[in-house]
């Protein structure tokens, strides 16, 4: 490792050439940094000639490399970049993000260098953009809820995988991302293993980035299903959740400063997200595979819908009247 190199920025990319171009152009405009302090590593799962040519031709103050992992999945790309990185800090960034300021990297590296044990990483969350759909807002709410509910006395238990700067020392100790988790909360298992080992992170809102997810409701459901599968995989490997969640996602939504009309729409989106997330968890818990059969996945979703309807009926006045009748009959 080149100790003079402060940060390696690792960007997994998959079918998002437009977003990647926007991100890299923004990096080229970063100020206050000596170009020799930073390297950028773009990693595709499979060879993308457009990305390869763009990385070769783009003029930046930083060294820019293009790599191919050869394996499908965001964690495979992260591990490929990690193995080739030379920086003291490895900054994992999604290809649909944008910086909010031209000194983002300067301040991030400065604060990373000042961290003290047990803190081994720093990062922000995601900022909603003007073009965000309700599905985008719902997804970003889930990320924000997850970050804010994982606070601890000695540091935070989580960072989002698309905006996380991690000490190289962690990887030198043998930690890697779990490549069995291909997409959907893929970094969570890695975070939790570090947390169980006594490490912590620093979540700081001033390092938020724009997140141009551009999701529809159906895409939100698919993403939630994959994240639920990730939960199932973590359970399979014996990696348990850390940090206390004081508020559920639904309760967290109600605490946000949105209008009544916006909350009405978002409640439905959160409902869809939760159903699909639980369906993904149930799917992996039973099938023990990350290869998704669409019909089986739909079946698990229907089961969750039925369960939700039955729970609502049981809590309703009709359900309470029915239970009271059963109790009265049993006393005869």
CATH number of the CATH domain containing 86:
3.90.550.10
- In a shared domain, residues 234 and 216: yes
Question: Helices 260-287 and 134-148: crossing angle, nearest 10°?
Answer: 70
> Does the residue 1 lie in any domain?
no
- In a shared domain, residues 39 and 105: yes
For position 240, what pLDDT does the model report? 77
Task: Give the list of residues 6+ apart from residue 137 with CB closer than 8 angstroms, or none.
Answer: 128, 266, 269
> Does the residue 2 lie in any domain?
no
The closest of 150, 205, 195 to 170, measured between CA atoms, is: 195
- In a shared domain, residues 14 and 124: yes
> Does the residue 330 lie in any domain?
yes
Cis peptide before 118 (omega within 30 of 0): yes
Domains contained in the chain, number: 2
For position 87, what pLDDT does the model report? 96
For position 328, what pLDDT does the model report? 62
- In a shared domain, residues 216 and 246: yes
> Does the residue 221 lie in any domain?
yes
Q: What residues pair up with 121 in beta bridges, in sequence order?
A: 166, 201
CA distance 277 to 14: 23
For position 245, what pLDDT does the model report? 60
Enter the tokens of residue 233.
């995989």
- In a shared domain, residues 239 and 302: no
Helix (H, G, I), strand (E, B) or coil at 71: coil
Counting as low any pLDDT under 70, the low residues of the chain are: 1-4, 242-246, 317-332
Domain that holds residue 183: 7-292
Virtual torsion, Cα 314, 299, 71, 74, nearest 10 deg: -30
pTM above 0.85, yes or no: yes
- In a shared domain, residues 309 and 204: no
DSSP H helical ranges for 187-316? 188-196, 217-236, 249-254, 260-287, 294-315
């Amino acid at each position: 490792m080149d100790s003079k190199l402060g940060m390696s920025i690792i960007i997994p990319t998959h079918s998002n050439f437009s977003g990647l171009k926007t991100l890299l152009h923004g990096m080229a405009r970063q100020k206050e940094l000596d170009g020799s302090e930073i390297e950028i590593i773009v990693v595709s799962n499979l060879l993308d000639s457009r990305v390869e040519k763009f990385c070769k031709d783009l003029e930046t103050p930083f060294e820019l490399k293009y790599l191919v992992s050869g394996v499908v999945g965001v964690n495979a790309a992260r591990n490929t970049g990690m193995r080739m990185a030379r920086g003291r800090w490895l900054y994992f960034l999604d290809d649909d993000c944008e910086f909010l300021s031209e000194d983002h990297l300067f301040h991030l590296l400065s604060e990373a260098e000042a961290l003290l044990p047990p803190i081994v990483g720093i990062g922000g969350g995601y900022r909603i953009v003007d073009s965000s759909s309700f599905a985008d807002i719902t997804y970003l709410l889930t990320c924000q809820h997850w970050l804010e509910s994982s606070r601890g006395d000695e540091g935070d238990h989580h960072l989002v995988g698309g905006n996380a700067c991690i000490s190289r020392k962690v990887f030198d100790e043998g930690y890697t991302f779990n490549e069995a988790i291909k997409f959907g909360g893929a970094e969570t298992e890695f975070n939790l293993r570090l947390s169980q080992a006594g490490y912590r992170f620093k979540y700081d809102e001033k390092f938020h980035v724009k997140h141009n997810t551009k999701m529809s409701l159906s895409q939100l459901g698919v993403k939630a299903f994959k994240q639920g599968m990730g939960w199932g995989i973590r359970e399979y490997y014996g990696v348990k959740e850390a940090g206390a969640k004081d508020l559920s996602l639904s309760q967290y939504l109600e605490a946000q400063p949105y209008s009544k009309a916006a909350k009405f729409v978002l409640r439905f989106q959160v409902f869809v997200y939760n159903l699909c997330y639980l369906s993904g968890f149930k799917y992996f818990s039973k099938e023990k595979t990350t290869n998704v059969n669409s019909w089986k996945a739909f079946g698990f979703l229907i089961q969750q819908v039925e369960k939700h309807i039955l729970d609502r009926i049981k809590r309703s006045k009709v359900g309470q009247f029915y239970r009271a009748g059963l109790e009265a009959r049993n006393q005869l």
